[in-house]
Structure 1
Amino acid sequence: MSLPASLKITEGEVPFSVAAAGKPCKTWYKIVGDLSAADSRRPLVALHGGPGVNHAYLLILSDLTVKHNIPLIVYDQIGNGNSTHLPEKMGDVGFWTEQLFLDELDNLLTHLGVKDSYDILGHSWGGMLGSRHASLQPAGLERLVLASTPADMGLWVKSQNELRTQLPDDIQAVLDKHEHDGTTDSEEYQQAVGAFYARFLCRLDPIPEPIAEGFGWIKKDPTVYLTMNGPSEFHITGPLKNWTMMADASKITIPTLLLNGRYDEAQHSVVAPFFEHIPRVRWVTFAEASHMIHFEERERYMEVVGNFLIN
């Protein structure tokens, strides 16, 4: 998406050493705003979802840079977007681990010189990553926003299957057939998944280009998404199906903001454990939004997040 011409934009690459990769790796990043300006606030590091999309759909958070002078840092996680791709690691669950992405985040924070004072906004999988990072209580992390983020993937799968029953019977039948037959890469299955997404992932029509760009990256290189997650948001076959923060949410001691939408894939049941266990937490639900609240209710979203970050 286009950014205001008045904003300082910096792009770069950070070397990221991953011994098991078998080749040099890099993390691509973009900074919107000026980290060194005397009047800048703490930077906001935005963690994209998927896992497997790219940073583009989070550039809209530059609204916060314009209004509050909060520098925004976005990046493409390894295996995605402009960062190093490793298609040869398809199916390697020992390589594509949560720890890999935690290490990458730490490496980026150190390289950019912000690890002593920063905030994090994680969306969906990015919130899962951000919540784990926060539970380790890094000294420089001051505020956390978990946007449409599940606290437990068992709860997520249960919720997705409940939402799925709201689809027309013929679409449910297509999903059931291809999942049973192992033909989830078929065009018919993908179209049926699209019907689910139109209700619970993004209700805008047409879908905003930055969101479509992220889906495009999964099609170009599905390595990370298929290995860690599986064929769709509700047919989870990868190791993320066992992911949980239930035992560690209470270790998040910084002020935390939970966000979800009324029609969100991240229904109340998957967000509630964060609210129950994080000591300093606020929860806001958006009445007209699904999983892409920052596009669907952009003005109110930026108001809620901006006020949380600056107060």
Structure 2
Amino acid sequence: MSASTSSTLPFRDGETWFQVTAPDEPRPGALPLVVLHGGPGMAHDYLRNLAALADETGRTVVHYDQFGCGRSSHRPDAPVETWTPAFFVAEFDALVAHLGLDRFHVLGQSWGGMLGAEIAVRQPRGLASLAICNSPASMQLWVDGAAELRAQLPTETEEALRRHEEDGTTSDPEYLAATQVFYERHVCRVLPMPQDFVDSEAQMEAEPTVYHTMNGPNEFHVIGTMRDWSIVDRLPSITAPTLVVAGEFDEATPATWLPFVESIADVRSHVLPGASHCAHLEQPEAFRAVVAAFLAEHDDA
């Protein structure tokens, strides 16, 4: 069985926590995989099961908690302008340098896929491939997709969401209950919610600085600093082979990820039937099989 070790590296005025899962039987030529979690600020817990790729593919798998959440340093009093994509690209670069990774794959889920694209447009020398999972190419596309999905909710649910958003009462129990209806359709369709997802959400709710600053109070009411983010115009700069993964009922609707498919030169896409935003929790074996095949194809010979 694979073995996991954790440590920290210095970053800015604090530390970044990371975990390295090494395979019991390394496969020659299998490059390490660095996993980027979502949120921003959701920590790696809900992506824990991707560590199984270590034994399944014979490669090292690296998880980390991005600065400001999870086991890494928190800065609830940091200026709003601290939390930018460039900040988290710099953190990724620091991690790769700390671990001495010359060649590597990157898999990002949700915000992690957006961050992965931000990394890839810079064409880092060591990037062997990129997997963008359940991610939009712009927040306007994300908001538009969320509006379409919200329109399909029961009338009383959508009315509760709209009323509390207009009143600024998004912590009201009625609003949170309505939010849950959306989550159970389009974020994670496994009920009760898997413990790994619960763990990520709990740490975010305990100290929500990054999530609330960059995103907003939830997945579909985006009022944070990322509201105008887009990478659409920069996508032709991505030269690494890219896999785009989504779920059939994903809150990342097809229109949100289509620009990746249209603008990245070496790209393919895969939609998991019956899955939503957390396809890796809903259909873990199927999700990992798709990723594993892609990684193997782009390992160094």
Q: Deviations over 1:33-82 (max 9, x none)?
A: 16996846211000000011111111211221111112110000011100
Over 4 Å off, 4+ runs: 34-38
Matched with 1:8 is 3
* Cα distance in structure 1, aligned partners of 2:2 and 2:282: 24
**Letter aligned with residue 169 of structure 2:** T
TM-score with structure 1 length normalisation? Answer: 0.93
Query: Per the alignment, in what secondary structure is the counterpart of residue 42 of structure 2?
Result: coil
Q: Which runs of 5 or more residues in structure 2 are unaligned?
A: none
Work out whether 1:125 is the aligned partner of 2:111: yes
8 A contact 1:57–1:211 mirrored in 2? yes
* Equivalent runs, 1:130-279 vs 2, <5 Å: 130-279=116-265
Which residue among 102, 117, 133 is the counterpart of 2:89? Answer: 102
Matched with 1:61 is 50
* Cα distance in structure 2, aligned partners of 1:295 and 1:187: 26
Query: Per the alignment, in what secondary structure is the counterpart of residue 133 of structure 1?
Result: helix
* Equivalent runs, 1:289-300 vs 2, <5 Å: 289-300=275-286
8 A contact 2:21–2:54 mirrored in 1? yes
* Cα distance in structure 2, aligned partners of 1:263 and 1:38: 35
Matched with 2:80 is 93
Query: Per the alignment, in what secondary structure is the counterpart of residue 45 of structure 1?
Result: strand
Q: Which runs of 5 or more residues in structure 1 are unaligned?
A: 1-5, 18-23
* Cα distance in structure 2, aligned partners of 1:278 and 1:154: 20
* Cα distance in structure 2, aligned partners of 1:224 and 1:187: 23
Query: Per the alignment, in what secondary structure is the counterpart of residue 274 of structure 1?
Result: helix
Work out whether 1:113 is the aligned partner of 2:108: no
Work out whether 1:71 is the aligned partner of 2:57: no
8 A contact 2:246–2:272 mirrored in 1? yes
Matched with 2:267 is 281
Q: Deviations over 1:191-227 (max 9, x none)?
A: 2111100000000011110011111011100100110
Query: Per the alignment, in what secondary structure is the counterpart of residue 240 of structure 1?
Result: coil
* Cα distance in structure 2, aligned partners of 1:221 and 1:289: 29
8 A contact 2:23–2:54 mirrored in 1? no
* Cα distance in structure 2, aligned partners of 1:96 and 1:128: 14
Which residue among 50, 64, 80 is the counterpart of 2:39? Answer: 50
Query: Per the alignment, in what secondary structure is the counterpart of residue 233 of structure 2?
Result: coil
Q: Deviations over 1:129-156 (max 9, x none)?
A: 0001001000000010000010111011
Query: Per the alignment, in what secondary structure is the counterpart of residue 94 of structure 1?
Result: helix
* Cα distance in structure 2, aligned partners of 1:136 and 1:35: 33
TM-score with structure 2 length normalisation? Answer: 0.96
* Cα distance in structure 1, aligned partners of 2:29 and 2:240: 21
**Letter aligned with residue 95 of structure 1:** T
Q: Compute the RMSD of aligned alpha carbons.
A: 1.5
8 A contact 2:25–2:58 mirrored in 1? no
Displacement of 1:172 = 0.8
Paired residues in the alignment total 297
